Amino acid sequence: KQLTEAALQAELEAHLESDEKPNRKNGFGKKTLKAPSGSFELNTPRDRAGTFEPQLIKKHQTYLSDEIERKILSLFGLGMAYQDIASHVAELYGLSVSNATISAVTDKLIPELKQWQQRPLGSHHPFLRLEAIHYKVKTDGRYEEKAVYTVPGLN
């Protein structure tokens, strides 16, 4: 929900910057969307002139696939350039998203990510460590590289 609202807000800001006539924000409208995880209420931004047409969630759209959110987050998390993210979103979903829009979205998400990184953790942290030793093994007259894995775990 937060990513979607941030993306819509960034879309509106990009629209207002490119608008030739004087225009400005005009609050939010409420929209109930159905997603695979359940229904939720979304605050959709508006402009005074009524010329803003969101691309991520179109007007009168009531169903939201969480696939777009996961894809944008994963591409950003992989360190992809904004231009690459925009081309992937355009290719996969037919949405034209500018680099400025993606930049505005990621700028709004960074404080939330930092807050998540600095959250208090519980006192119990189990973990696994995966180790491998690689050997060259002769099989049927040919040498092949094989790995022997060990997985020590602490709880």
DSSP 77-100: HTT--HHHHHHHHHHHH-----HH
Per-residue pLDDT at 151: 87
Confidence (pLDDT) at 143:
94
| Mean pLDDT, each 10-residue run in order, the chain (155 residues) | 79 84 86 75 86 80 68 79 84 72 70 85 79 92 93 74
Q: What confidence score (pLDDT) does residue 136 get? A: 94
Q: How high is the pLDDT of residue 69?
A: 63
Q: Where in the chain are the domains?
A: 2-117
Spatial separation of the C-alpha atoms in residues 50 and 140, rounded to whole Å: 73
Nearest to 15 by CA among 41, 43, 46: 46
Q: What is the dihedral of CA 30, 34, 40, 43, to 10 degrees?
A: -30
Q: For the chain, give me the number of helices (H) and strands (E)?
A: 4, 6
Task: Look at residue 147 in the predicted model and tell me its pLDDT.
Answer: 93
Query: For 131, phi and psi rounded to 5 degrees?
Result: -125, 150
Contact 81, 51 (CB under 8 A): no
Q: What is the pLDDT of residue 152?
A: 81
Taking the model in full, what pTM does it have?
0.44
